[in-house]
A and B are shown apart, each in its own frame.
Chain A
Amino acid sequence: MIEMTNVYKKYPNGITAINGLDVKIDQGEFVYVVGPSGAGKSTFIKMIYREEVPTQGNVKVGEFDLVKLKAKKVPYLRRHVGVVYQDFKLLPRLTVSENVAYAMQVVGKNPKAIQKRVLEVLDLVGLKHKVRMFPNELSGGEQQRVAIARAIANMPRVLIADEPTGNLDPETAWGIMDLLEEINNHGTTIIMATHNSDIVNRVRHRVLAVENGRIARDQEGGEYGYEG
């Protein structure tokens, strides 16, 4: 469960990105985060995995209190929160299977368990046949699938997807969407920031519209609501 109460975030350069935001997301929900660029979407997302710390207010993710969380303990939060980016952020020097295995080695799992789980998640994302390839040998959609496989390898309770389809063509984007749906069906909370009105309008889920650093609209099964 994710809970933000009365959250403010002011950057050192004077910009107030989040301006008194309250939200509660239950375990297993699928939530779209929409809104114009510069409205605070990114900051909102980053506060969930503590890349940013609020200047005021409370953020709780599961049993972690992110405001009080010491820098040393941040890695342990990140193991419960998988993150997928628009630009994939794969390690270019590691093969597909090594990229996925990396997130599990970090936790200190034993090699046999890692090998088993790597094949399991790569099978889930449909890339079992490309385990030995390097990221630059894959298409954009395939790279995003590897990133997702990595994000869910440790079975996180929450999966954050920051514009996961932003760099992909529509057809590939739908493939990624199906994958996220399937992961959500296994009980993982999905928080997806997106500009893709097509997806939001056709696959209906809870929509959080962030404007001027606040939740302007919180609607179960809502529409995208902006000019596509």
Chain B
Amino acid sequence: MKARTFWRHIVESLKSIKRNGWMTIAAVSAVAVTLLLVGSFIAILMNVNKLASDVEEDVSVRVYVDLAAEEEDQEALQESLEELDEVETVVYSSRDDELTQVIGSYGDEFGLFDGDDNPLYDVFIVNTAAPEVTSEVAGQAEELSYVADVNYGGATADRLFEVMATVRNVGAIIIIALIFTAVFLIANTIRITIFSRSTEIEIMKLVGATNWFIRWPFLIEGALIGFIGALIPVSIISYVYLSGFDTLMTYLSGTYFALLPPNPFLYQIVALLLTIGIVIGSVGSSLSIRKFLKV
């Protein structure tokens, strides 16, 4: 294509956007509303997912060491724990460390148990590679010698994992459904704007315009509508996320939990929404125009 012709297509699409006034506004609004929904859901679900992972990361297996274990036995136990598949880290916490933690959490009265009166066990805190294998690792640890008991939150943790898996799946389905709705809505709106110009296309064909010559301005127009429509949700989501992030993070400080930081997460959402807008706009318009080109 000649540069002059391409330039003409761009000018033509801009003119058409201006002259179609209300239709342009309708199409841009359709893009804006659906992408706002898609964007908000992605932002919320990705953060729920992140919080869920934070919770899951926090689940670890506590292996209590039998009081009869000598120092070599403990070392042997630590080695065999580390050799288990799926085990990432093994941290040793002596009974004294454990008591200090209890005193820290529940109060100085527990200081009475200091020294030889300490009723607690030495503990290996085992972190697994993936949260789902926690119970499996706990079972394997139970089989080892010099293990008094194993604790990983049992049923509570299992239930948590189930809920999190459901949240993830439902979230993914909602996002996919929303993107489909967006595609349908936008393509449909553009189809209406093109339909109102079917005579125009017919005349273009009759004066000897090739199909691509007719298609280009519509394609560019669709992409521009998608882009402009995406800018609105992008700015709303950016503003809300940036201010919401600061507010929520002050509440979450001091916990294991954290939201996804705006850099890079917000940039990814922005890029995704702009891409969806442009792609849907141009694909939607070229699909809609196909029918009218068969004159």
Identify the A interface with B (CB < 8 A). Answer: 49, 51, 72, 75-79, 83, 89-93, 102-103, 105-108, 110-111, 150, 154
Contacts and interface: CB of A to CB of B under 8 A. Distances in A.
B205 interface: yes
Contacts of A72: 210-211
Interface of B: 2, 4-5, 8, 16, 19, 199-200, 202-211, 213, 295
B213 A89 contact: no
Contacts of B16: 93
Contacts of A83: 206
Contacts of A79: 208
Contacts of B202: 89
A78 B203 CA distance: 11
Secondary structure at chain A's binding surface: helix, strand, loop or mixed? loop
Contact of A107 (B4, B206, B208): B208
26 contacts: A49-B206, A51-B206, A72-B210, A75-B205, A75-B209, A75-B210, A75-B213, A77-B208, A78-B205, A78-B207, A78-B208, A89-B199, A89-B203, A89-B206, A90-B203, A91-B203, A92-B200, A93-B200, A102-B204, A102-B207, A103-B207, A103-B208, A106-B210, A107-B208, A111-B4, A150-B207
A83 B209 CA distance: 14
A89 B4 CA distance: 27
A93 to B, nearest CB: 5
B295 A106 contact: no
A76 B208 contact: yes
B210 A105 contact: no
A91 B16 CA distance: 12
Contacts of A77: 208
B295 A75 contact: no
A75 B4 CA distance: 20
A105 B8 contact: yes
B255 to A, nearest CB: 60
